[in-house]
């Protein structure tokens, strides 16, 4: 079964410049990775769940902040591993310095028998379009490009 995720691409204007909000994945595997690993806040959803409701829930779980506004649907993208990501863009502002993410447990270091807790997201940031396209998961860059063409 193909995994499906839903997420939100927040944007705002900083003067004349369009900025988008992205999150960096938490956990030990991404600590030293930057370009190509940031993402829109997103998460998996069940087939019987409304994707936009799931996107809003996942945003709150990954950032600790609720989002309201006029959402518009973007074309779904397929990531390298086959996961389909459904996304909505919305003009909104969040405080990137006050991210509070859900956590997950992982045996770390591997085969140590020790379990550690890590945040799903370790930080968020606002980026101009060109920087965002470099930072974001390569498949998700299409979401930013579509936003630019429609905003």
State the total domains in the chain.
1
Instruction: Give the domain range for residue 68.
Output: 4-150
- Look up the CATH number of the domain holding residue 96: 3.90.79.10
**Residues facing 105 on adjacent strands:** 117
**Region 62-74: what's the mean pLDDT?**
96
pLDDT at 151 over 80: no
**pLDDT tens string 112-149:** 999 999 999 999 999 999 999 999 999 999 999 999 99
Q: Virtual CA dihedral for 18, 145, 66, 15, nearest 10 degrees?
A: 0
Q: How confident is the model at residue 150 (pLDDT cuts 50, 70, 90)?
A: confident
Question: Which secondary-structure segment (H or E) carries 150?
Answer: helix 141-150
| DSSP-assigned letters across all residues of 111-125 | TSS-EEEEESEEEEE
pLDDT at 58 over 90: yes
> Residue 23's pLDDT is what?
98
Cα 148 from chain centroid?
Answer: 17
């Amino acid at each position: 079964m193909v995994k499906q995720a839903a997420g939100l691409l927040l944007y705002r204007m900083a003067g004349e410049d369009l900025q988008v909000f992205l999150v960096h994945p938490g956990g030990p595997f991404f600590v030293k990775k930057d370009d190509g690993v940031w993402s829109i806040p997103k998460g998996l959803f069940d087939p019987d769940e409304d994707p936009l409701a799931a996107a809003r829930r996942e945003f709150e779980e990954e950032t600790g902040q609720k989002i309201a506004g006029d959402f518009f649907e973007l074309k779904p993208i397929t990531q390298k591993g086959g996961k389909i990501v459904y996304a909505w863009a919305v003009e909104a502002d969040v405080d990137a310095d006050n991210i509070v993410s859900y956590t997950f447990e992982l045996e770390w270091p591997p085969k140590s028998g020790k379990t550690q807790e890590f945040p799903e997201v370790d930080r968020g940031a606002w980026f101009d379009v060109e920087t965002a396209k470099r930072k974001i998961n390569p498949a998700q860059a299409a979401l930013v490009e579509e936003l630019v063409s429609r905003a």
